[in-house]
């Protein structure tokens, strides 16, 4: 079968890693985060050497796509974010244009496998062209602020705040 890792341009990966770091810094509850392409490739991860990042990236894109499908089926327009609440924490998949961020919050050790994905929140950023990486309030399950990324590839470094982006 095919190799799993796809070489995104180094500057794209660096920008994505920077954006993801900002997201993690702004969300102290987040233990893991993966920024993925729409088709499930890891672009950036927190922590950087997260062993499960590639698997989480693939699963995130499936969840994202299924969310889109059911929202479409229900005639509700386009899907935005997906929240999965579990015994040990919360997983959030944040749709960001054609990419997504999956963030995981929570406490380790709540009936979780040692080798599996950590139990907390997982937020995934989908496509970054024109994407938004947002502050996610895990207590209220609401997005409390937003930062707009503009560009035609994963976080090309130009971050243009938009007047309507917050809330």
Partner 1 sequence: MSADQDLKIVFTGPMGAGKTTAIRAISDIPPICTEVANSDRVTHAKDSTTVGMDYGQLQLSDGAIVRLYGTPGQARFAFMWEILSRGAIGVILLIDGSTATALEDLGSYAETFRRIIPGQPFVIGVGRTAGDDGRELDKYAQALADREILAPVFGVDIRNREDVLLLIETLLCIFEVQVTEPAYAAS
The whole-angstrom separation of Cα 118 and Cα 116 is: 6
Residue range at the interface with partner 1 (CB under 8 A); choices 26-34, 49-57, 77-85, 101-109:
49-57
Strand partners of residue 51: none
6 in contact with partner 1 (CB under 8 A): yes
Closest residue by Cα to residue 117 from 79, 91, 155: 91
Out of 58, 71, 83, 146, the residue judged to bind partner 1 by CB under 8 A: 58
Sites for partner 1 among residues 94-153 (CB under 8 A): 98, 127
Note whether 4 binds partner 1 by CB under 8 A.
Answer: yes
Using CB under 8 A, pick the residue from 14, 21, 26, 55 that binds partner 1: 55
Between 26 and 65, name the residue whose CB sits nearer to partner 1: 65
- Shortest CB 111 distance to partner 1, Å: 20
CA nearest 149: which of 159, 157, 141?
Answer: 159
Q: Quote the CA–CA distance of 20 and 44 in Å, as a whole number.
A: 7
DSSP 3-state of 141: coil
Pick 27 or 126: Cβ nearer partner 1: 126
39 binds partner 1, rule: CB under 8 A:
yes
Coil/strand/helix, residue 144:
strand
User: DSSP string covering 121-133, please?
Assistant: -EEEEE--TT-EE
Instruction: Kindly list the residues in this chain that would bind partner 1 in the complex (CB under 8 A).
Output: 1-2, 4, 6, 37-41, 54-55, 57-59, 61-66, 68-69, 73, 98, 127
């Amino acid at each position: 079968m095919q190799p799993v890792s796809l070489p995104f341009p180094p500057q794209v990966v660096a920008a994505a890693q920077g954006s993801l770091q900002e997201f993690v810094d702004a969300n102290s509850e987040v233990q893991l985060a993966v920024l993925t392409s729409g088709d499930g490739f890891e672009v950036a991860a927190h922590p950087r050497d997260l062993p499960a990042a590639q698997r989480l990236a693939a699963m995130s894109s499936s969840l994202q796509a299924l969310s889109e499908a059911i929202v479409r089926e229900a005639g509700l327009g386009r899907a935005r974010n997906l929240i999965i609440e579990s015994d040990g924490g919360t997983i959030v998949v944040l749709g960001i244009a054609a990419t997504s961020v999956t963030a995981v919050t929570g406490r380790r050790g709540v009936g979780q496998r040692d080798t599996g994905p950590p139990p907390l929140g997982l937020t995934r950023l989908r496509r970054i062209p024109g994407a938004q990486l947002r502050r996610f309030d895990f207590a209220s399950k609401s997005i409390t602020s937003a930062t707009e990324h503009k560009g035609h590839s994963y976080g090309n470094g130009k971050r243009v705040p938009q007047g309507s982006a917050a809330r």
